[in-house]
Structure 1
Amino acid sequence: MKLDRNGKILVCGSIAYNTTMVFDGLFREYILPADLKMLNVDFKAADMRRDFGGSAGNICYNLNLLGLRGFPVAAVGRDFGDYRRWMAEHNIPADYILEIEDGYTCRKHVITDMDNNRISDFHAGAMEHCREITIRKDIDIALGVVAPDSYEAMQNHTKQLSHQNVPLLLDPGEQVSVLDGTDLMWLMEHSRWMVLNEGDWQMFARKTNMRIDVATEMLDALIITNGIEGSVIHTRDNRFNIPAVPTEDPVDSTGCGDAYRAGIIFGLMMGHDWPTTGRIASLMATRTISHQGPQNHRVTLKQLREHFASQFMITLG
């Protein structure tokens, strides 16, 4: 099935604000076992950064850098203004964004110490309303991505896109630990490709009694990532080992997985084979890890082709 390179790519998932603070001390010097019955600890952050994030926002940011039409499908709150302006500046459409006036945009707060320990909190906020978004019939949709969301939202958007015969990439992520085997199987049965990390695949396999050879009979490809060890792309007839692309200056791994997924989508849209597609995905992940935050890196198609040629000694068409 040939994909329309000029078509819309709908990415169903989250739009989020990420706030990261750095405590220039050690948590273990302040959180003591004897004090855990009643915990009341204040940390003074030496540094703070707010980034634009969320799976849908991150993937679309990367797709649009590469000249593709990435449309986030997500619900946001009354504080969406800054993110809307950011999206407009980077040519990310808001056509499929649902704004909820009595809620806040999804956000995650993280505080880290000097040992890189972290304390996090997550507020779903308006994300709970993603299930209310209806993707109406549109002949211009070339590909859909179903990223982590509530099961009801993931199910609704899978149905809506499947009914339009839109090929789907399933990216279940952290929802693998939440959903039961029946729900996971249903999502997989309606997808053409699936991508997840090694830990999530192991849990997916346990919950569904799934083997890789069975998965590749159901899917065109099963893509399993494993951080610095690279990734593996399984198809019916082949297994492709994709190396991670090293970087001399790793800064922040936040958003690397989403950049990798954008690389996979780019390869699919351009009609590249799986070894090429996987290597593009690895390059995109490396671009992200060299910068703070998931949407602060830059890359052009020309730069991607040059980096690809220098890294793999192959010309990227």
Structure 2
Amino acid sequence: MSVLICGSIAYDNTMVFPDRFRHHILPDQIHILNVSFLVPEMRREFGGCAGNIAYNLKLLGGEPLMMATVGRDADPYLERFEALGIPVGHVRRIDEAFTAQCFITTDLDDNQITAFHPGAMSFSHENRVSDAQDVKLGIVAPDGRDGMLTHARQFADAGIPFVFDPGQGLPMFDGADLLDFLELATWCTVNDYEARMLCERTGLSEAQVAERVSAFIVTLGGEGSRVYHDGTMSDVACVPADELLDPTGCGDAYRGGLLYGLSRGADIVSSARLASVMGSIKIASRGGQNHAPTRTEIERRFRASFGSPLDF
């Protein structure tokens, strides 16, 4: 049975400015800012949370089913996923819009100026969870605000367990919205910054958030992750990476591993360990979908890191 991934599909446009922004942005002229940066180096990557999660789930041998909205420029993305064997039958095309796009310019100090155009993502609420068949579990990942609210309710109404993953979309929701998500969701996963925001907006501690779901997972970057479950908290170690090259998409790789474990009936801690392996593999590659480990390599890293076989 499939894992239904509700979230964004996007193009990531990454540019490098071979200088420092501070040499060109004058503090006393910020009120009339008008600057242009020459960026000789540019990469365009396939991205978006649904796309990245589906890619990682497929690497593990899972059955991802994406539910997303794209624009009139989506043919290269959809053709690539079809070639990878990832179904796109529930990806809706909005012909009057562009696919969501992120434009990131980085300077020599690793400062970033980012612009994000949501495009077709704003129409995600037009998709219906009930249109997908034979779904075992799902995830509500960052997407259009109305889409995230709608899909969470539809998962719950259909009795399909799902992960609530607000990610960078968390600021769109107030405390009441977030409490509703926690009421509907089976699991919740955030990074440490998002955990602080979630707690501030709901008035709950991390332990109290955990009481409202079957498991609450907080990722901590290079320090691993905290997994709250069954009234306890387990630490999951960070898996050493071959190289710290690009963190883009690491959270999505983690969620791909988490979903694979849950879909195979693994316990939450074992699923989080596999998630950690996937994040460590991804960070050694540029872009969200350019790493391509074999299943054998994933199993080897899992055993080396946690001392047990990957048997799910």
Please name the residue that 1:3 is paired with.
none
- Report whether the alignment pairs 1:219 with 2:248: no
Q: Is residue 15–residue 39 contact of structure 2 (8 Å, CA) maintained in 1?
A: yes
Instruction: Choose which of 261, 268, 271 in structure 2 pairs with 1:267.
Output: 261
Is the Cα–Cα contact under 8 Å of residues 137 and 164 in structure 1 kept in the other structure? Answer: no
| 1:109-165 deviations in Å (ceiling 9; x for gaps) | 001111111111000001110011122255510011001223321121122222221
SS of residue in 1 equivalent to 2:227: strand
When the two structures are aligned, how many residues end up with a matched partner?
311
Q: Note if contact 2:90-2:132 (Cα within 8 Å) is conserved in structure 1.
A: no
What CA distance in whole angstroms lies between the structure 2 residues aligned with 1:274 and 1:187? Answer: 20
Give the whole-Å Cα distance in 2 for the aligned partners of 1:142 and 1:25.
Answer: 49
Residue in 2 that maps onto 1:295: 289
> 2: CA distance between counterparts of 1:274 and 1:240?
10
Partner residue of 2:233? 239
**CA spacing shift, 1:126–1:90, aligned 2, 3 Å:** same
Aligned counterpart for 1:13 among listed residues 7, 21, 24:
7
Instruction: Name stretches of at least 5 consecutive residues in structure 2 with no aligned partner.
Output: none
Say if 1:218 and 1:72 are closer, same or farther in 2 by CA, change over 3 A: same
Which of 196, 204, 207 aligns to 1:210? It is 204
User: In the alignment, is the contact (CA less than 8 A) between 2:123 and 2:144 conserved in 1?
Assistant: no
Secondary structure of the residue aligned to 1:64 is helix
Instruction: State percent identity of aligned pairs.
Output: 38
What residue is the counterpart of 1:250 in the other structure?
Answer: 244
Q: Larger deviation: 252-261 or 136-145?
A: 136-145
Q: Quick one: distance in 2 between partners of 1:43 and 1:26?
A: 10
The CA RMSD over aligned residues, in Å, is 1.4
TM-score by length of 1: 0.94
Match of 1:200 among 194, 197, 216: 194
Report the counterpart of residue 39 of structure 1 in structure 2.
Answer: 33
- Of the candidates 163, 167, 185, which is equivalent to residue 173 of structure 1? 167
> Counterparts of 1:66-105 in structure 2 under 5 Å?
66-105=60-99
Query: What TM-score, normalized by structure 2, do the two folds share?
Result: 0.96
Return the offset for 1:247: 1.8
> Aligned equivalents of 2:30 and 2:174: distance in 1?
33
For the pair 1:154 / 2:145, whether they are aligned, the reply is: no
- Residue 216 of structure 1 and its aligned partner are, at CA, apart by 2.7
Distance (Å, rounded) in 1 between the aligned partners of 2:72 and 2:133: 31
Q: Once the 2 structures are TM-superposed, how far is the Cα of residue 246 of structure 1 from its aligned partner?
A: 1.8
Which segments of 5 or more consecutive residues in structure 1 lack a partner in the other structure? 1-6
